[in-house]
């Protein structure tokens, strides 16, 4: 039996993760849960919050007293919180599944260092469909090459803090790498006013934050005579949660290292 810890278990994604774990099968279960110290759900049974039935797992403000109750920690919280959980997992030898986005280069370096100690699956998006799209984007970039303009548009709910989304940036990275470009040098984040004619080497990003949009991403490859669009639309957070549960089961038996959802799905070795 694989026991997992859910960070931010009282939040929208946290509750969905609890539900995904508890409905995924008999081989995995929630063993620990954390919430912010000032959250009114501290001390509550996380099962009642997420499922309407008790699980016997109480939400606590820290995992320090719960380290014997899990082997994998699933974290979709904030960069600051995730780095704190990362340090704890390194200290106690726990695997991690990281779905948090918005990390700085220094944060990413810390995660790389931690992966020398524990196994980590980190992805900007745990949807199976999105990860398939990444493969399709590689092929599209290979075939269409430098003969098209490339634009990436994404939309998320009004509460999302980072922009563009981690998924949109990953899509840009995949395309840029395939075309031999450096995304930091060719990315254009929004346009305003009069500008020179578009440089075909650039990759444009457009962002929408509105309502309760779960997550939409479209990559457009456009020439003067035609365009190809690769789109993914998520209608439920369960899509991401189910992928994270699959990653937790997979990483529980892996050696130290930094893995992606592409590894979990067998799309890369």
Give the residue numbers annotated as catalytic, written as ranges: 156, 160
Query: Percentages helix, strand, coil for the chain, rounded to the nearest 5?
Result: 40, 25, 40
Neighbours of 94 (CB within 10 A): 21
99 is in an annotated binding site: yes
What sign results for the dihedral spanned by CA atoms 39, 43, 48, 50?
positive
10 is in an annotated binding site: yes
Peptide bond connecting 37 to the previous residue in cis, omega within 30 degrees of 0: no
12 is in an annotated binding site: yes
232 is in an annotated binding site: no
Neighbours of 125 (CB within 10 A): 26
238 is in an annotated binding site: no
113 is in an annotated binding site: no
Closest CA to 161 of 20, 35, 11, 2: 11
Whole-angstrom Cα distance, residue 49 to residue 63?
19
110 is in an annotated binding site: no
Whole-angstrom Cα distance, residue 144 to residue 151?
14
52 is in an annotated binding site: no
163 is in an annotated binding site: no
193 is in an annotated binding site: no
56 is in an annotated binding site: no
81's enclosing H/E stretch is helix 79-92
11 is in an annotated binding site: yes
Mark out the alpha helices in 93-224 (DSSP H runs).
105-114, 128-144, 166-178, 183-186
Could you list the residues known to form a binding site for (S)-2,3,4,5-tetrahydrodipicolinate, using ranges: 157, 166-167
> Which segments are annotated as binding site for NADP(+)?
60
Annotated binding site for NAD(+): 8-13, 99-101, 123-126
Question: Which residues are annotated as part of the binding site?
Answer: 8-13, 60, 99-101, 123-126, 157, 166-167
């Amino acid at each position: 039996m694989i026991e997992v810890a859910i960070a931010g278990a009282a939040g929208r994604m946290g509750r969905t993760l609890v539900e995904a774990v508890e409905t995924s099968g008999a081989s995995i279960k929630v063993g620990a849960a954390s919430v912010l110290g000032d959250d009114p759900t501290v001390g509550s049974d996380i099962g009642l919050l997420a499922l309407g039935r008790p699980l016997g797992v109480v939400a606590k403000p820290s995992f320090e007293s719960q380290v014997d109750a899990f082997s994998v920690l699933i974290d979709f919280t904030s960069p600051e919180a995730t780095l704190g959980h990362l340090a704890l997992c390194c200290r106690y030898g726990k695997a991690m599944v990281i779905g948090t986005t918005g990390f700085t280069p220094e944060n990413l370096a810390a995660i790389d260092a931690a992966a020398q100690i524990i196994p980590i699956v980190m992805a900007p998006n745990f949807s199976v469909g999105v990860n398939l799209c990444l493969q399709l984007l590689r092929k599209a970039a290979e075939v269409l090459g430098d003969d098209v303009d490339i634009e990436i548009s994404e939309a998320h709910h009004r509460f999302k803090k980072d922009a563009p989304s981690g998924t949109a940036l990953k899509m840009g990275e995949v395309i840029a790498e395939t075309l031999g470009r450096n995304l930091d040098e060719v990315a254009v984040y929004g346009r305003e006013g009069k500008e020179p004619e578009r440089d075909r080497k650039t990759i444009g990003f457009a962002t929408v934050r509105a309502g309760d949009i779960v997550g939409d991403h479209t990559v457009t490859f456009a020439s003067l005579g035609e365009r190809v669009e690769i789109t993914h639309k998520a209608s439920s957070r369960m899509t991401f949660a189910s992928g994270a549960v699959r990653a937790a089961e997979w990483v529980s038996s892996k050696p130290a290292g930094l893995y992606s959802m592409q590894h979990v799905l067998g799309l890369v070795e």
